[in-house]
Amino acid sequence: MRSSLHARWAVGVSAAAVTGLAITTALGSPTFADPPTADSSDFRAQVTSAGVGEHLDAFQAIAEANDGTRASGTQGYDDSVTYVVEQLEAAGYSPTVQEFEFPFFQELSTATFEQVSPDDITYTTPDDFSTMTYSGSDDVTAVVEAVDTDGTAGASTSGCEAEDFASFTAGNIALMQRGSCAFGQKAANAVTAGAVGAIIFNSGANGAVDSFAGTLGSPSDIPVIGTSLAIGQDLLAPTGTEVHLATDTISEIRTTSNVIAEAAGEEDEDRVVQAGAHLDGVIEGAGINDNGSGSAALLEIAEAMADESPRKTVRFSWWGAEELGLLGSEHYVADLAANDPEALDAIELYLNFDMVGSPNYVRFVYDGDNSTYGEAEGAATGPKGSGNIEKTFHDYFASQELASEETPFSGRSDYGPFIAEGIPSGGLFTGAEGVKTEEQAELYGGEAGVAYDPCYHADCDDISNVSMDAVEEMSGAMAHAVYLYAVNARSVKAPTPSALPEQSTGEKRAEAHDYDAPNHHAKRR
C-alpha cells in the first residue's frame, strides 16, 4: 500500500513530553536549533520488534549452518548477504551487491609462546601475550634479537626504520618496543630483514605496560605477537635468549561485499538520506547483537519504506568487513569520492546503527556536537548538522518518556568514513564492553557493574544475547529518524528562524547558518 507522507510532517515528536526532556537535560542535553519535525507514528507502526526478531532468527540460523559465524570472508556472511538481498527483492527493491577485496584473518588455534633458554617459561594468552591480527602462521624456535631498544619505559621508535635492522641476524626473532609507528610497519621491516617472527612489547609510556592485542593492517608472512613491558624487558637479557613461537592462522586476501538498496525520492530524488549497519560479525560468534541487531532493524525499516513515498531518496546500506576496520563503508565512500563525487555530495546525512539490542543496554546517542565529549576523550569531528541529528534522537526518546544520553562520536563505526568527507552523521548504540554505572542502572534498569554486552565479540553473542525491549525502543527511534529526514524538505544543516541559545561552555555560538557549531559512539577497536 502506498500512502502520501507529505501532508503529515507538520506535527511531530518535537512536542516532547516534559518528563522525558527533563531526563535528557539532566544528562547534559546539547544546545542547538530544532531539527525538522514529522509525525512518524504511522510509519513506526509498521516497524515491529516481531519483524526485527524474524530477521534475527534468520541470522542465527545462518550462523548455525556455517560453523557458528557470519564474519566477512566466510560462507556465513555470504549467506547473510543472500538473505538481505532476498528480503529486499521481495519488498520491491533492486538491491546492489558491491564486492571488494579485503584482508581476512582467523586464528585457528591458541598460539604458543615460551622461553626455551636460559629459563624454561611458558606464557599464557591473553594475560601474557596475544596474537596480532593478520599475524602469519608458523612454528619457530630461534634466538630473540632486540631491535633499537634497551627496554627503557617510554616513547620508542624501535623497528620503525629499515636502518634499525642494519645489524640484524636473519633467522632470529625480532624483539621490538611499541611506539611511534604502526605495528604493521615494524613487522614488515622485520620480514625484510629476514626475521622468522616478531615480538612487540608494550612501551611503558603513560602507564602502557600490560600485554596487548593489535592489528598489522594486512597479512604478514611471520608470526607476530604483542606482550607486556616486563616480558619484553626480561627477553632482552641475557643476549642469546631463545624462544619458541607458534601461531596457527589464516591471513589472506578474500572477497566480501556491501548491500545497497534505494527507495527513490518522489520530489527531491537527488537528495539522499543514507542509513547503514554493518552486516558482519566477528569470527568467534554468530554476531547477533553485534551487529545482527542493527542490520535486522534496518531491514525491517527498509521493508516498511518500500510502501511509502519519501520526498528524498532513502538509501539503505549493509556493510561488510566492519569488524576488521570499517572496510566496507570505507570502500563505498572511497569509490564514490574517486568515481562519482557528485553522488557523494548528494548524501545529505548518514545514520548509523551498530548494536541496538545489548542485554544490559543504555539508550546511547552519538554526541554529534561534542557537547559532552571532546577531543580529550578521543572524539572525532561531527560535521555541521551532526548535532541536529543528535537532537532528533534525544527529542524522540523524550517524546516516549525514555531517558537517553550521549556516547563519544569516536569514529569507531561505519559513520567514520562519512564524517571524514564532511557528511553530517549520527546514530544509536546500546553499549558494548563498557560497564553500566549505578546512575545508568537507576535510569535504564539492568545491572550496574556489568558490561552493557557481556558477550561482546564472544561466541555467546547469539540470539539469547539480545534484549528485545532495547530492539523495540531503538528501532522506533531509528524508524522515526529515517522517516523524518526522508519526508522533510529542510536540510539537516538548515537553521530555524528562532533565536539560538548559548553554548553550555559559554563560548559564542557560530553564525546562524552554522548553528551546529560542531567540534568533534562508541564502539571499539
Instruction: Locate the domains of the chain by residue range.
Output: 18-102+254-514, 119-240
**Rounded to an integer, what distance in angstroms lies between the CA atom of residue 56 and that of residue 62?**
10
Nearest by Cα to 25 from 387, 474, 438, 372: 372
- Looking at the chain, how many residues does it have? 525
Burial of 174 (C-beta count, 10 Å sphere; 0-12/13-18/19+): buried
**Cβ(321)–Cβ(218) under 8 Å?**
no
The C-alpha cell 538548515 sits at 494
Single-letter amino acid, residue 60: Q
pLDDT of 378: 63
**Rounded to an integer, what distance in angstroms lies between the CA atom of residue 87 and that of residue 89?**
5
Collect all residues with Cβ–Cβ distance below 8 Å to 32 and sequence separation of at least 6.
369, 387, 388, 391, 500, 501, 515, 516, 517
Q: Is the dihedral of CA 379, 381, 387, 388 positive or negative?
A: negative
pLDDT of 7: 24
**Cβ(92)–Cβ(329) under 8 Å?**
no
Fold for the domain defined by 119-240: Glucose Oxidase; domain 1 (3.50.30)
pLDDT of 375: 62
**Cβ(459)–Cβ(285) under 8 Å?**
yes
Element (H, E) at 269: strand 268-278
Single-letter amino acid, residue 262: E
**Rounded to an integer, what distance in angstroms lies between the CA atom of residue 176 and that of residue 76?**
37
Region at 148 (left for phi over 0; alpha for psi -120 to 50; beta for the rest): left
Same fold, 18-102+254-514 and 119-240: no
* φ, ψ (nearest 5 deg) of residue 161: -120, 145
pLDDT of 26: 34
Nearest by Cα to 403 from 363, 445, 355, 370: 363
Architecture of the domain whose range is 18-102+254-514:
3-Layer(aba) Sandwich (3.40)
Using only C-alpha atoms, the chain has a radius of gyration, in whole angstroms, of 25
| Of 322, 405, 472, 473, catalytic | 322
Single-letter amino acid, residue 80: S
pLDDT of 373: 85
Burial of 11 (C-beta count, 10 Å sphere; 0-12/13-18/19+): exposed
| C-alpha cell at position 409 | 562520536
One DSSP character per residue, 309-357 reads: --SEEEEEEEESSGGGTSHHHHHHHHHHHHH-HHHHHTEEEEEEE----
pLDDT of 495: 52
Residues paired with 245 in a beta bridge: 113, 140
Nearest by Cα to 275 from 489, 58, 474, 36: 474
Q: Is 507 a catalytic residue?
A: no
**pLDDT, block means (10 residues), the chain with 525 residues:** 26 32 38 64 97 98 98 98 98 98 95 97 97 97 98 95 97 97 97 98 95 94 98 96 98 97 96 98 97 98 96 98 96 98 97 98 94 72 91 96 93 93 97 97 98 97 98 98 94 51 26 24 37
pLDDT of 108: 95
